[in-house]
Chains A and B, each alone.
Chain A
């Protein structure tokens, strides 16, 4: 696909007081891309994702989603967010709702689906990810991996144009990481456009179309995974990879 990419970020800047968290970030995500953000804790990966989902106001630069500048203060924030799905490191499921209620809330209240349609969709997707028998449980009865899979289903149930994943496996025990990554892989194979912050280098190498290395709020290097992870140009990238591999 040529022409306007799905997500285009130019000269993005974000600071908390004197601390500059993102500096002059340029990033392009085309439809069906799987872009992995890597970098040490505090390098700005999460902040970048939160800026894209309009959970944080940016201090300069522009973010375009499908040709629309979403950093425009007059933009309809809710409609922009409803075009994206976001999954958080700590799952952030609603503890007072069942799994099914968690997943059907946005379809019913934001997208205007009937309760029956929303439930249909939710149950189909839950079944696809091996959660069919958990639909009526509350989140505190689920393992971390199951909770994160539910959070994933909740984010993609309305088939968003772009899915943002913020270190979705970082809070999990090692033996639970696989079941969550399997879902991400499944989404990638179905052509979902993904932008994810991750510490799973093996996974990034396997599924990413592009890898971006962030260091102190700057994208130091980006390119195909084989190049960035296998033959990095920057000394910083090499240092980082030596530490995590």
Chain B
């Protein structure tokens, strides 16, 4: 290799590019300052700012409520960790069931279709009410009356319906030529699903699934509405006794701290899959 020094024209181009880059950074900084500054000004100059600060952003109340909210938040994390695998399992089962063709499985297909239609239609908070208050009222033998478990059941059924549809769209996005190829090898439709379609579909739906997870993390707070001592419950408890809303902000910060890393991870994964699909493109 011979040594290379940029030609005068290339040096000129580099200089121009550097100048353009500097200008872009300057514009971005000024724009950000103007927008953020404007928002802060509106906030601080608002007539109620003093009171707002006291009732929502009190450092003392934040410190005082922190331990209880942290303890409550552990329940949110626990609910999430228990519900999520069950949701994935349920969603995958329902999606695969809906993709079967065997006539003997028709009743299951019907059930799966009705399930997704009905449970996606009912607001999650209503499902939680129905399960937590309705199921114990039936006084069924051997069925739990624990608010925690009934709440989780409601979350699983609600999210399972969404996740099933995500899985199903993934299954349907696999090109028919892949199925033709599996058919031509003599694979049964169950084997084709298990070995060819599902593994590819799952890879493809990971980003949208993670998006649903982020949503689930927040919705565990809905179970707090029926009496599980979670972060939201703890915040409300403190608020009721101290007439200060700061604990709500603290609880919000907890949820954000959990969902933001998840969101970044989702972006990263999506970018990686996009790169890989691009590399495989012909």
Contacts and interface: CB of A to CB of B under 8 A. Distances in A.
A105 interface: yes
A81 B180 CA distance: 11
Contacts of A140: 276, 279-280
A91 to B, nearest CB: 9
A171 B177 CA distance: 15
B186 A106 contact: yes
B183 interface: yes
B187 A106 contact: yes
Contacts of A105: 185, 187, 195
Contacts of B199: 96
Interface in B84-124: none
B266 interface: no
Interface in B167-226: 177-178, 180-188, 191, 195-196, 199-200, 203
B180 A94 contact: no
B187 A88 contact: no
B264 interface: no
A154 B203 contact: no
A95 B187 CA distance: 17
28 contacts: A50-B180, A54-B183, A55-B180, A55-B184, A78-B186, A81-B184, A81-B185, A81-B186, A85-B184, A92-B180, A94-B178, A94-B181, A94-B195, A94-B196, A94-B200, A96-B199, A96-B203, A105-B185, A105-B195, A106-B185, A106-B187, A109-B195, A110-B185, A110-B187, A154-B185, A155-B184, A155-B185, A171-B282
Interface of B: 177-178, 180-188, 191, 195-196, 199-200, 203, 276, 279-280, 282
Interface of A: 50, 53-55, 78-79, 81-82, 84-86, 88, 90, 92-96, 105-106, 109-111, 139-140, 144, 154-155, 171
